[in-house]
Structure 1
Amino acid sequence: MIETARTWRDHDPDPATRAELTRLIEAADTGDPAAVADLDSRFRGPLTFGTAGLRGEVGAGETRMNVAVVLRATHGLARHLIDTVGSDARVVVGCDARHGSDDFLDATAEVLAAQGLTVMTLPRRLPTPVTAYATRALDCDAGVMITASHNPSADNGYKVYLGGRATDSTGRGVQIVPPADEQIATFIDAAPPADQIARDPAAVMALDETILDAYIARTASLRPGGEPSTVRVVFTPMHGVGGTTALAVLRAAGVGDVHVVDVQSAPDPDFPTVAFPNPEEPGALDRALELARDVDAHVVVALDPDADRCSVATPTEDGWRQLTGDEIGWLLGEQAARDPGRGGDTLACSIVSSRLLAKIAAQHGLRSAVTLTGFKWIARTPDLRFGYEEAIGYCTDPDAVRDKDGISAMVRVVSLVEELAADGRTLVDLLDDLARRHGLHATAPLTIRVDDLAELGQMMDRLRSTPIDALAGSAIVEVLDLAGGSGDLPPTDALVLRTAADDRVIVRPSGTEPKLKCYLEVVLDCAGGEIPHARAAQRLQAISADVAALLRG
């Protein structure tokens, strides 16, 4: 392992990570157990090129995100594009404000250019949806976004879109899926050592803000009408790169009464005011909710650090309520279904999202689709009008951005608040309408974090091999193992449990973090018009306890 580290260090062109490895190697040579363990974690195998690309902790070594890893990954991507499209392939590259993002963008663009491709870089520190938009709008064969989305501050990533000639029409400007990711990974494995990969900064074309202005105009146009909005918005970009762009969109859309959480407004890769930079995490919206109470806001909107996810809170008689990812999906799905002016006739969601969206689609005479988890699958749905995943990701303008987009979702939410307020109604009123029409669908997550990734496989094996008779007193009527695929779904590592009471539990390992994720849903009748929230919460709690006991053995 030490020799592997020395070889990597000797070919690392970045002085900072080369020095980092030198210190560790020298300490490991003396027998320092901490240094030996640290080196082992950095060289237990290359950082896997999989879910949309790469993601990992910034630092030296083959399992970390660093310039050497990015150089080799980009060499692999370039060879894939030359192999599938030709040497005239076009690529656009963007980045967020995380640690290392500027250097990783430069490395990406310069390697692509050295391979003879046409390479355009976006202005620095822009949201991920702008890169997704640019991939389609500029008719690029690929797009690369340097981001780790809402991962911890120590992480960064490398996200790949394919477009133009590199994919079919339903995948244009969409994150990569098999077999493209596997083909790129093969080219990466065959790439030369990092210091032997050519770079050509002179051949990189730096774009001005024209494409950003086009994205802002397009996204602002999603709010109907031209009159100034009466909605008072509290907004936080969660220390990410969405702030400036989102505010420009709101202004262009006529939404002027916007109050920003100042301490979270500027990009900061350390995310100092939140324990975890994900708007879904407990406490992440505390400052936004405090400001909302102070200014008597009508809605709170929070973006994650790269602005591809959107969380929402709404005032109620009992105080502010943060909506779940599914609840926002239902609201935006109902809004989309009611709008005949939108293209497409299909509402889509991931398999771990609520089943209510399909009922909404049917009620409006539209089609529905269920895909594997992630927008690399959702966004490929033919004739897509709206798509969502429960992890606060929403595609509300698929003709422009074929991925989740927190900023366009923000505009749709503000428009919906405005529309409902004109009739003296709220987001909660619309949720209650949906419950009375289709039954109360209540969802909740259960997450089990692990230190050793091997534990994930052990827990899945235990669940597969353990007979399960009932959950929360209701008999199990179906156990569906998706490892072999099902219907229109390709194989994936997940189990689906359904009960006689129409409860559903889906269990799967996370694709990006060391944890097992469980998605719980109960469906209760709203006889007499009453919404049985308390009973649903109790049932979810009981199911959660039963599932946790099964997984922990």
Structure 2
Amino acid sequence: MSDLVRRAEEWLAQDPDPETRDELGRILDAGDAAALMDRFGAKLEFGTAGLRGELGAGPNRMNRVTVMRAAAGLARRLGPGKHVVIGYDARHNSDVFARDSAAVLNGAGLRVSLMAHHWPTPVLAFAVRHLGADAGVMVTASHNPPRDNGYKVYWGDGAQIVPPLDAEISAAIDATGPVDRLPLGDEWETLSDAAIVEPYLAAVTALPTGDDRDLRIVYTPMHGVGGEILLRALAAAGFAPPAVVDAQFTPDPDFPTVAFPNPEEPGAMDLSLRLAEKVGADLVIANDPDADRCAVGVPTRDGGFRMLTGDEVGGLLGEYVIEHTSAPGRLVAESIVSSSLLGKIAKAHGVRHAETLTGFKWIVKAGDGLVYGYEEALGHSVGSDLGLPVRDKDGIGAALTVAGMAAAAKREGRTLLDLLDEQAERYGLHATAQASFRVADLSLITAAMERLRSHPPQALGGRAVRSVDDLSAGVDGLPPTEGLRYRLDGDARVVVRPSGTEPKLKCYLEVVVPVTEPGAVPAARTKAADDLESLKADLTTALGL
């Protein structure tokens, strides 16, 4: 207890934030050992996803001290004279953390460009390359709960950092002394709308969206920062203004209408789908709070609406982009947990295909000629023959391209569901699902992974396990990462991995059902749904969670 108190008092002495000082003072006055252990018994680790965690006092929380230390570590790794662009979303303290970062970086002798407003993450990723900067920082926790915030670092190539940069920056952070001794600057450039948003909009509206524009769209930014930019992008591309979910349009860091501000979460899209039914929409589009993800909903044949999975959108967008680009040596890429459908599409069109580790930091580095990359968690990076305008997932560019694809289908009397059925007939029905286990104690995830390794399942969902890849050893030329991949009889696959940003164990399931004759897709979907449920049940038992 005495060591925790000492560390807390040292933290308190350097903390510039009266709110977290008050929080920590109350904990010390109360002698609350559990609260001190929670905040000072561990620390947020800086990795390839940067930092992300709950707001509060101490090294195991996101706060001004944690952020200033991160900025000081980044400054040390870059060195004086380098240029850093900083962006931020509308979460609690995002603007404060951005200004603190600017002050620390500028005080260390770096040139800083700070965005004038809370704008989407893809705008920051675009800005790094557009301005020729050496690095970028985005203060965001994406779709995490309201009490979280985060700190993402981009390098000069416009992509998120990968090893060994993460370890080098982390070591520099650890070498940082008390933040109240850091020199602070106040001479940074403020990036206006004209300087960065307008060039970004010009880049994404040049994506292959076709010429068709007859489409009724419903849109929600999920209380985040994508609303204004998406409306401007649609208008610039020639689409009519969408019907917006008013209750979710204005940025609000408390996300009052949703339990989790993630379009994938149950109930998050209810307001959008109700509005879509009311206005007779052709398409529903949602961004997550920092607008790097794009969710898509469509009318069903029985008069309702349903959300497409990230893999369904990935297959549709992948084929659409391939058909609307022509440069030699084109490449499409996806993460190892995404559907195998994209690889079959690429082979049929004579286009190169690559699998990478999860995360767009890997996808955008898949190789030269990349025109499209995606991961199943609603992340898409759409390019053209000129390449990717954003070397990260971009929910605005993806939304524009989906709208163009849906408008073209509508002109032909078809819907995105018709396009999905046609793909199933050509390549087989690729059905995917995810099982996620959120835990309060991360040791439960470690124990579950150890259990799978020591007692590997021989069968899952009635299918024999044909092979097991331990991803921690590195497979197929990929860097090592924590996870297991099971290949099952009958063209099925399961991947189990801990989340890199949330206290979750994630399981990714895929079954492929052949479609042997026209009209057989509904039966194939029913069989696939049953097979996925069987896989989930057996996997839950094997994990012991």
Query: Is this a same-fold pair by TM over 0.5?
Result: yes
- Establish whether residue 131 from structure 1 lines up as the match of residue 116 from structure 2: no
Match of 1:407 among 383, 396, 399: 396
Structure 2 match to 1:49 = 46
Listed as ranges, the matches of 1:409-488 within 5 Å are: 409-488=398-477
Listed as ranges, the matches of 1:93-108 within 5 Å are: 93-108=86-101
**Kept in 2: contact 1:137–1:400 (CA 8 A):** no
Q: Distance in 2 between matches of 1:4 and 1:476?
A: 50
Give the deviation of 1:343 after TM superposition: 7.8
**Kept in 2: contact 1:72–1:197 (CA 8 A):** no
Structure 2 match to 1:240 = 224
Give the deviation of 1:541 after TM superposition: 0.2
**Kept in 1: contact 2:316–2:419 (CA 8 A):** yes
Once the two structures are superposed, residues 294-339 of structure 1 have per-residue CA deviations (whole angstroms, 9 ceiling, x without a partner) of 1111100000000000000001112211100100101110111112
- In structure 1, runs of 5+ residues without a counterpart are 29-34, 164-171
Equivalenced residues, count: 533
- Establish whether residue 21 from structure 1 lines up as the match of residue 24 from structure 2: yes
Match of 2:492 among 483, 496, 503: 503
Once the two structures are superposed, residues 237-271 of structure 1 have per-residue CA deviations (whole angstroms, 9 ceiling, x without a partner) of 00000000110111111111410000000000000
Q: Distance in 2 between matches of 1:418 and 1:312?
A: 14
- Cα distance, 1:215–1:342 mapped onto 2, change above 3 Å: farther
- Establish whether residue 275 from structure 1 lines up as the match of residue 268 from structure 2: no
- Establish whether residue 286 from structure 1 lines up as the match of residue 270 from structure 2: yes
Match of 2:71 among 70, 74, 93: 74
Partner amino acid, structure 2, of 1:533? R
Give the deviation of 1:399 after TM superposition: 2.7
The runs of at least 4 consecutive aligned structure 1 residues that moved more than 4 Å come to 223-227, 341-344
Once the two structures are superposed, residues 73-110 of structure 1 have per-residue CA deviations (whole angstroms, 9 ceiling, x without a partner) of 1000001011xxxx221111010000011110100111
Once the two structures are superposed, residues 442-474 of structure 1 have per-residue CA deviations (whole angstroms, 9 ceiling, x without a partner) of 000011122211111110010011142212222
**Kept in 2: contact 1:69–1:194 (CA 8 A):** no
Q: Distance in 1 between matches of 2:293 and 2:329?
A: 22
Structure 2 match to 1:60 = 57
Match of 1:154 among 123, 147, 168: 147
- Establish whether residue 113 from structure 1 lines up as the match of residue 106 from structure 2: yes
Query: Percent of pairs identical after alignment?
Result: 52
Structure 1 match to 2:287 = 303
Partner amino acid, structure 2, of 1:189? D
**Kept in 2: contact 1:113–1:200 (CA 8 A):** yes
Q: Distance in 1 between matches of 2:529 and 2:92?
A: 40
- Establish whether residue 515 from structure 1 lines up as the match of residue 504 from structure 2: yes
Q: Distance in 2 between matches of 1:315 and 1:517?
A: 29
**Kept in 1: contact 2:224–2:291 (CA 8 A):** yes
Q: Distance in 2 between matches of 1:342 and 1:257?
A: 33
- Establish whether residue 350 from structure 1 lines up as the match of residue 335 from structure 2: yes
Relative to the length of structure 1, the TM-score reads 0.95
Give the deviation of 1:222 after TM superposition: 2.3
Structure 2 match to 1:198 = 183
Once the two structures are superposed, residues 164-187 of structure 1 have per-residue CA deviations (whole angstroms, 9 ceiling, x without a partner) of xxxxxxxx1100011000000000
Q: Distance in 1 between matches of 2:209 and 2:380?
A: 19
- Establish whether residue 395 from structure 1 lines up as the match of residue 395 from structure 2: no
Q: Distance in 1 between matches of 2:495 and 2:209?
A: 38
- Establish whether residue 207 from structure 1 lines up as the match of residue 210 from structure 2: no
Greater mean deviation of Cα atoms: 511-520 or 406-415: 511-520
Structure 1 match to 2:525 = 533
Greater mean deviation of Cα atoms: 271-280 or 44-53: 44-53
- Establish whether residue 320 from structure 1 lines up as the match of residue 342 from structure 2: no
Q: Distance in 2 between matches of 1:27 and 1:309?
A: 43
Give the deviation of 1:526 after TM superposition: 0.4
Give the deviation of 1:542 after TM superposition: 0.4
SS at match of 1:414: helix
Structure 2 match to 1:379 = 364
- Cα distance, 1:399–1:473 mapped onto 2, change above 3 Å: closer
- Cα distance, 1:314–1:342 mapped onto 2, change above 3 Å: farther
SS at match of 2:517: helix
Listed as ranges, the matches of 1:5-16 within 5 Å are: 5-16=8-19
Partner amino acid, structure 1, of 2:540? A
Partner amino acid, structure 1, of 2:503? P
**Kept in 2: contact 1:395–1:404 (CA 8 A):** yes
SS at match of 1:527: coil
Q: Distance in 2 between matches of 1:341 and 1:107?
A: 45
**Kept in 2: contact 1:509–1:515 (CA 8 A):** yes
Relative to the length of structure 2, the TM-score reads 0.96
